[in-house]
Amino acid sequence: MTRAAPRQLVPLLLLLLALALLADPLQLPAQEARPNGFQQGVLIRFEGPIFSLTEQVLVRQLERAREMGADLVVIEIDSPGGEVEASFHCAELLEGVNFATTVAWVPKMALSGAAIMALGCDQIVMHPQARLGDAGPIYANDYGMFEHAPEKVRTDLSTRIRSLAERNGRPAALAQAMVDNTLEVFRVKHADSGDERFLTDNELQAMPDAAQWVKQEQVFKPNDKDFLEVTGQQAVSMSLADMNAEDRRQLADQLDYSGSWQELRRTWVDTTVFILNAPLVTGLLFLVGMIALFVEFSAPGISIGGLISALSFTLFFWSRFLGGTAGWLEVVLFLMGILFLMMEFFVIPGFGVAGLSGILLIIAALVMASQTFLLPGNAAEWQTTRRSFYVVFGAGAGFMALAIVLTRYLGGIPILSRLTLTPPTASESDLHVAGLTADHGQVTGLAAIEVGAKGAAETPLRPSGKALFDGELIDVITEGDFVDVGEPVQVRLVEGNRIVVRKLQG
């Protein structure tokens, strides 16, 4: 019985084997429904310089790809590079994508910061003649000439790019040679296993089995000006890139993706943010906002001046929020500056601490909202800060010039004249004086004011206020100058009930 039992199991095993073979074809349709490992591929074109604005565009596009259910995200990079910090932030964004496989596709070039960005992807695919590398840090000196960054900057950058390359399985020494031209990098081969690596002398000596590694060739040697830059073919042979492709079709074949690419382009929001962040447009927003605010202060009340000013500064901060350079701190500082100026104009007499503090707070808010750092720490950041100050002070100079013009001619400008009170005609003025005489039995001091009369400012004249003439308190306006309380003034023009005065010198 014990020997027969196995023989009885043979037909049963054959039957189970036949059922298994028949079951395989039933699974083929399911495999045909998914011929590759990716169901939805998204292609994001990344062109031009890299800075904080493009970083925020990448954030929004990656979010769109996630919402679309993409499991393959291809970043088509064609860029000469850009800001160091923005480049590393883009690399870290791509490195942190957990909903899809990220691929850097380089059809032409990914240089400088763009090479750093590519190192953050899961895979790098390049055209055979495309270029990758040359990420040496440079900055513009005081004369506008580009120079290599100092040793301290290169050391920190070397550490960061080595760490980025190691985390994504790429030769750290070659990545470092992209930013440090003092290295000597060799291709080395293990005598027993045949494994090949790219190491510096220091790295080779630190290997526990250093004697087993044999130098094959020197792939990069120290020089004064050149950093490591490789073609697509060289990048694959050096393990910096995973594969080569001639075009998008071949790229899809290499990735085993047979679906259609969903290309994500910049939206109208991205385009608007780019335009509003241009220095010239930013300066115009400042200028329009400040002039409109000046008009509003000249004719208090929520009018067209206040609305235009609010719109201008809202557009500025909105574009800076989406551009990644502004936060709520800058908005709070700006609003506090406006509040201090209002206190100076309407509450506190004279121009002192409140007015100066308000101006400084507004300048600080506008400059801080134009950069990603609080205080500059290197040459590139100092250059950014200077550019921000140039824009702010340029707009401020334009504001001062236009403010003087508006003070003198506001009543004659067709649209803005509606914001001011026009003086009455001579007949209207005579009727007004006659009415006062009939009601009160005397004419006010306004009728007795003549050109050349001297008095003193009873309230701050900015530019309008009250002045005292022979015991009579009269509403007056200056020619544009600010006059403090108690300072002598003289009448220059009398038009109906509009008394124009000027400050007496000495």
452 burial class (0-12, 13-18, 19+ CB within 10 angstroms)? exposed
Give me the mean pLDDT over the 407-417 stretch: 52
Q: pLDDT (tens digit, 9 = 90+) per residue, 274-296?
A: 888 888 888 898 888 888 887 77
Asked whether 264 and 60 are in contact (CB, 8 A), the reply is no
Report DSSP letters for 353-408, one per residue: HHHHHHHHHHHHHHHHTTSSSSS--SHHHHHHHHHHHHHHHHHHHHHHHHHHHHHH
Cα 466 to Cα 382: distance, rounded to the nearest angstrom: 47
Q: Tell me the pLDDT tens digit for each residue of 138-190.
A: 655 554 445 555 666 678 889 999 999 999 999 999 999 999 888 899 999 98
* Higher pLDDT pick, 30 / 225: 225
With a cut of 80, say whether residue 16 has pLDDT above it. Answer: no
CA separation for the pair 437, 313 (Å, rounded): 50
- As a whole number of angstroms, the distance between CA 29 and CA 27 comes to 6
Query: b/e for 323-356, b at 16 or more Cβ within 10 A?
Result: bbbbeeebbebbeebbebbbebbeeeeeeeebbe
Instruction: Record the tokens describing residue 489, joined without a space.
Output: 């003034």
Q: Tell me if 18 sits within 8 A of 47, measured CB to CB.
A: no
Cis status, amide bond into 25, omega within 30 of 0:
no
Q: Average pLDDT for residues 253-271, to the nearest whole number?
A: 87
Is residue 355 pLDDT above 60, yes or no? Answer: yes
Q: What is the pLDDT of residue 21?
A: 38
Q: How confident is the model at residue 408 (pLDDT cuts 50, 70, 90)?
A: low
3-state secondary structure of 505: coil
Can you say whether the dihedral through the CA atoms of 217, 219, 225, 231 is positive or negative? positive
Give the number of other CB atoms < 10 A from CB of residue 78: 16
397 pLDDT exceeds 80? Answer: yes
Instruction: Pick the more confident residue, 8 or 495.
Output: 495
- Residue range 379-393: mean pLDDT, rounded: 79
Residues 470-491 have pLDDT tens digits of 888 888 888 767 788 888 998 8
Neighbours of 272 (CB within 10 A): 15
> What is the model's pTM?
0.66
Token output for 53? 């604005």
The whole-angstrom separation of Cα 255 and Cα 111 is 24
Distance from CA of residue 356 to its chain's centroid? 28
| DSSP string over 163-193 | HHHHHTTS-HHHHHHTT-TT--EEEEEETTT
Amino acid at 375: L
* Most confidently predicted of 367-371, 379-383, 408-412, 430-434: 367-371
